[in-house]
Structure 1
Amino acid sequence: MGDAVGVAIDCVYKNTNEAVEARVNDLLPRMTLAEKIGQMTQIERRVATPEVITNLSIGSMLSACGSGPTKDASSSRDWAIMVDDFQKSALKSRLGIPLLYGIDAVHGNGSVYGATVFPHNVGLGAARDADLAQRIGIATAIEVRASGIHCTFAPCVAVCKDPRWGRCYESYSEDAEIVRQMTSIVTGLQGQPPHGYPTHYPFVAGRHSVIGCAKHFVGEGGTKEGKNEGNTEITDSELERVHMAPYLDCISKGVCMIMPSYSSWNGCKLHAHRDLLTNVLKHKLGFKGIVISDWKGLDRLSEPRGTNYRKSIEVAINAGIDMVMVPYEYQEFMENLLSLVESGEIAMSRIDDAVERILRVKFVAGLFEFPYTDTSLLLQVGCERHRELAREAVRKSLVLLKNGKGPNKPFLPLDRKAKKILVAGTHAHNLGFQCGGWTGKWQGLSGKITQGTTILEGIKEVVGQNGEVIFEEVPTTETLSQEDISYAIVAVGEQPYAETFGDNSELEIPFNGADIINSVAEKIPTLVILISGRPLVLEEWLLEKIDGLVAAWLPGSEGNGIVDLVFGDYDFHGKLPMTWFKKVHQLPMDFAANDNNAYDPLFPIGFGLNLCKSILVTERD
């Protein structure tokens, strides 16, 4: 017992009673250059071995979305065992510096089977409820920490100016002020800094909170024609006023990490942008946390990709990147970085700045004191309280765009006592389609990919008690000819996607969605539920045929939240977080532009009906 106390006294960095900066300043000089480079390296779990982690002093690991401990349906307990095993190897290193393990829990911990999957950001932007976002952050943090993981690469605070962008659903809104409001999720994830806590200093409340990462710095939502990893061509003042603004809020809330974008600003890639990463982010804005690269972000700094990797490392590290998401070729990265420091092409002061930031976040997050999983949290994964929160989020995110074909003739709420109804469409009974990308796998999946409730299952709970529910994805002529069907609910929309795979210049409803809607609406009064990560093309002739239209975005695992609204148990709350265009050629449309003639939407940003037919529209600047 006396020896343990002696170690704590002699080694300031091991003494929990010492201030964070004192512990950082004690540990940093003890480290060799190789150990510092190890701390700057983040590797994917598939290349990690106990020897690699221990001998190279690897500082961080991650799982790509879906890269878990078992091939299919890994539980939180499986994840916790895996991460703790990796942590044991890190603690065996010479200095015993714990691992920081990260994952893309961007709308709940979607890689884990049974975790609560919340609506994607575009839906939360429609809800415009900062308190709701914060509570979702709290629930997500608990479920992430239950799986042993310390960090989520979220939130995305991009301001999406063009729905053709494949990451549109990761943005809360095209309006920077709405995005700023939703940065409350940072406080949910990391906890609320106490009164008097240093401004702009990283903060994590404790073992039930998680390290957050604001991304992708900066301007990625404004690329030309919505191209993912494209070029944002705007002025300094517009970049600062629109795209930089949410980061100020995240930093003021103590966000621990910021991730640069793959994209470019006026031709310069953000991973190589020293002025923005160092002069602006670190110096002007005072960010004291970790600047972490995106997945293989350094590879993208040379064309063809990765052809001059050594030069890419030099440019990125000198620009201000502290931790590098390698994720596989860690030996090449570490050897090149060592060579660059020894040759003087990267200054030792730059390495020390990076490692100081990494250690600071690890101390703030309590990883030295509590490196292992708190298994008591396992009972909260996918619990009733979290699922009810997700259901509330679904209810608040839905936007009612049409209700009836004429004045004083509302179609909703639907009659729950109807004797026979038709449910149709590709998205009526597909949990994977509801959840979208970053769920189960990077690009998402189709089918019963996790625990949850589909729209059809929710409808059957309400109507099935009294009447008959017919379900056909594509209804037959025989079914549509039945004269005793009271009404139809048609759920159509997009297949799951992520990043560049979601870039879309057409934005038409996939799977012949418009044809399914038309065939049903020709015969039966029809409510359309659109499941999508963005506005899609809605021809006016088709709108005229249907009786009701709901934008449900990507609602996640709790499809019964949709049913709550359409049957009138709750009223509609959501307002469009982005402009709903008429034709793709109108894009990009800017609601804040001074030219009123150029803004001619199908539905303006802020539009939303409720069951009393009130129109809610935000005022334009």
Structure 2
Amino acid sequence: MSLQDKVGEMTQLSIDMVSVGDPYNLKEPHQLDTAKLRHVLLDLRVGSLLNVGGHAYSLQHWREIITTMQRIAMEEKPTGIPVLYGIDAIHGANYTLGSTLFPQQIGLAATWNPALAYETARITAYETRASCIPLNFSPVLDIGRDPRWPRLWETFGEDVLLASRMGTSMVQGYQGTQLNDPYQVAACMKHFLGYSLPRTGKDRTPAYVPERQLREYVLPPFEAAIKAGAATVMINSAEMNGIPVHANPRILKDLLRDELGFRGVAMTDWEDIKLLVTRHRVAKDYKEAIKLAINAGIDLSMVPVDLEYTALLKELVEEGEIPMWRIDEAVRRLLTLKFELGLFENPYYPAAQYPDFASEKHQQASYRAASESITLLKNEENLLPLRPGQRLLVCGPTANSLIALNGGWSRTWQGTDPRYDT
């Protein structure tokens, strides 16, 4: 592999970068721009792409998208290395129209049932892989202890043991016993480490976590997921104890690799390397930010919307600012993941191999998870259980709203598109 091949493998771009027209105009049917796609795959040698907030498609369209990407990558690129496509299938294959949706993680936690967590993840993996997508940015293993934090509902709540058990079950449900199984996906535990405990309560802002608290409350779910074989990890966007995690080798190397023994791919979240310049102010420019992050231990950058990343990373290697062994280490992990997923042999499978997509038995599993997640907080005047035959008026703005019931990551990022409210 050339240096361009290697830095391309370490780059993840948004599907917007290879699409026609305005990606935020949800009324326009989506089309790949094959000229842009060829530039990204053949010239820049980019090895990974990801989905973004407004792209929910039919099963057939997903299959067309991924098939086109893989054919260009494997038939026209000199190395023939397949694309690694990632997606946030958080509570079901939520970006595939008609797929089975499940309770959010906080709802699953309320079931206290790891077997249900396993089953929901297994079905999510099945329906995600039916869409030809092999990498899922889930589960969230952050501890939910601050109700001000806007992503609390994406966690398993405040209990460390419960989060560890449920998280492990989801990893096992996603990945099964072999990643090259056509019904499994690679899991991504996130967000390592301290992401859910910002001092202000605002997302992606600084956290101050004493070492004892870190090890007693924050670390255990990740440690359990690593022991369960989680294939990838997404890093905390913010800073912890005064140091941006993306530029902290103590966290990314000493703790994650040496102490916990993680051997998979470490990736950024959305535009996090650039945040080392624009938010954290620890780098003078984008190029220095890339140097800090890669040398700290980042393997794959969710860039995701600029085309200069590969050129800057290549320059840093040529100038000796990033050693070649660090590049080779990252690329080895990425290629290992692609081999383990079976992408070189089977980058996509026939649709007929997935007869249970959105099947009745998958819907029954969803109902079972939802029913077990219901938690009774009050029962004034013994209103419950309802008498047989009793009529009840359900009213209010969310009485018949799928948006309110499903929450975020439901066909769109925020889950608020009115097209999916009925």
TM-score of the superposition, structure 1-length normalised? 0.63
Looking at structure 1, the residues matched to 349 and 13 of structure 2 have their Cα atoms a distance apart, in angstroms, of 20
Identify which of 388, 396, 402 aligns with 1:431.
402
Task: Give the Å deviation of 1:151.
Answer: 0.6
Structure 2 unmatched ranges of 5 or more: 19-36
Identify which of 247, 252, 272 aligns with 2:247.
272
Looking at structure 1, the residues matched to 334 and 179 of structure 2 have their Cα atoms a distance apart, in angstroms, of 14
Task: Give the Å deviation of 1:338.
Answer: 0.6
Structure with greater Cα Rg:
1
1:449 aligned partner: 420
Q: Does 1:128 align with 2:112?
A: yes
1:344-423 matched pairs, under 5 angstroms: 344-405=320-381, 410-418=382-390, 420-423=391-394
Looking at structure 2, the residues matched to 303 and 77 of structure 1 have their Cα atoms a distance apart, in angstroms, of 39
Identify which of 54, 61, 78 aligns with 2:49.
61
Indicate the larger mover: 317-326 or 204-213.
204-213
Q: Evaluate the alpha carbon distance shift between residue 229 and residue 239 of structure 1 in structure 2; reply closer, same or farther with a 3 A threshold.
A: same
2:291 aligned partner: 314
Q: Evaluate the alpha carbon distance shift between residue 391 and residue 433 of structure 1 in structure 2; reply closer, same or farther with a 3 A threshold.
A: same
Partner AA of 2:171 in structure 1: V
Looking at structure 2, the residues matched to 395 and 379 of structure 1 have their Cα atoms a distance apart, in angstroms, of 25
Partner AA of 1:285 in structure 2: L
CA contact (8 A) 1:433 1:447 kept: no
Local SS of the residue matching 1:302? helix
Task: Give the Å deviation of 1:447.
Answer: 4.2
Q: Evaluate the alpha carbon distance shift between residue 285 and residue 422 of structure 1 in structure 2; reply closer, same or farther with a 3 A threshold.
A: same
Looking at structure 2, the residues matched to 317 and 450 of structure 1 have their Cα atoms a distance apart, in angstroms, of 42
2:24 aligned partner: none
Task: Give the Å deviation of 1:102.
Answer: 0.5
> How many aligned positions are there?
400
Looking at structure 1, the residues matched to 345 and 384 of structure 2 have their Cα atoms a distance apart, in angstroms, of 55
CA contact (8 A) 2:206 2:239 kept: yes
2:88 aligned partner: 104
Q: Evaluate the alpha carbon distance shift between residue 106 and residue 97 of structure 1 in structure 2; reply closer, same or farther with a 3 A threshold.
A: same
1:459 aligned partner: none
1:10-49 matched pairs, under 5 angstroms: 31-48=1-18, 49=37
CA contact (8 A) 2:244 2:280 kept: no
Task: Give the Å deviation of 1:448.
Answer: 5.4
Structure 1 unmatched ranges of 5 or more: 1-30, 69-73, 193-202, 452-621
Q: Does 1:163 align with 2:147?
A: yes
Q: Evaluate the alpha carbon distance shift between residue 205 and residue 85 of structure 1 in structure 2; reply closer, same or farther with a 3 A threshold.
A: closer
CA contact (8 A) 2:44 2:310 kept: no
CA contact (8 A) 2:249 2:296 kept: yes
Determine which structure has greater relative contact order: mean sequence separation of CA pairs < 8 Å that are 6+ residues apart, divided by chain length: 2
CA contact (8 A) 1:147 1:378 kept: no
Looking at structure 2, the residues matched to 88 and 215 of structure 1 have their Cα atoms a distance apart, in angstroms, of 31
CA contact (8 A) 2:401 2:421 kept: no
The Cα offsets for residues 483-521 of structure 1, whole Å up to 9 and x where unpaired, read as: xxxxxxxxxxxxxxxxxxxxxxxxxxxxxxxxxxxxxxx
CA contact (8 A) 2:247 2:292 kept: yes
Partner AA of 2:293 in structure 1: A
Task: Give the Å deviation of 1:387.
Answer: 1.1
Looking at structure 2, the residues matched to 81 and 138 of structure 1 have their Cα atoms a distance apart, in angstroms, of 24
1:275-286 matched pairs, under 5 angstroms: 275-286=250-261
Q: Evaluate the alpha carbon distance shift between residue 115 and residue 355 of structure 1 in structure 2; reply closer, same or farther with a 3 A threshold.
A: same
The Cα offsets for residues 457-486 of structure 1, whole Å up to 9 and x where unpaired, read as: xxxxxxxxxxxxxxxxxxxxxxxxxxxxxx
Partner AA of 2:301 in structure 1: V
User: Over the residues paired in the alignment, what is the CA RMSD in angstroms?
Assistant: 1.6
Identify which of 72, 84, 94 aligns with 1:89.
72
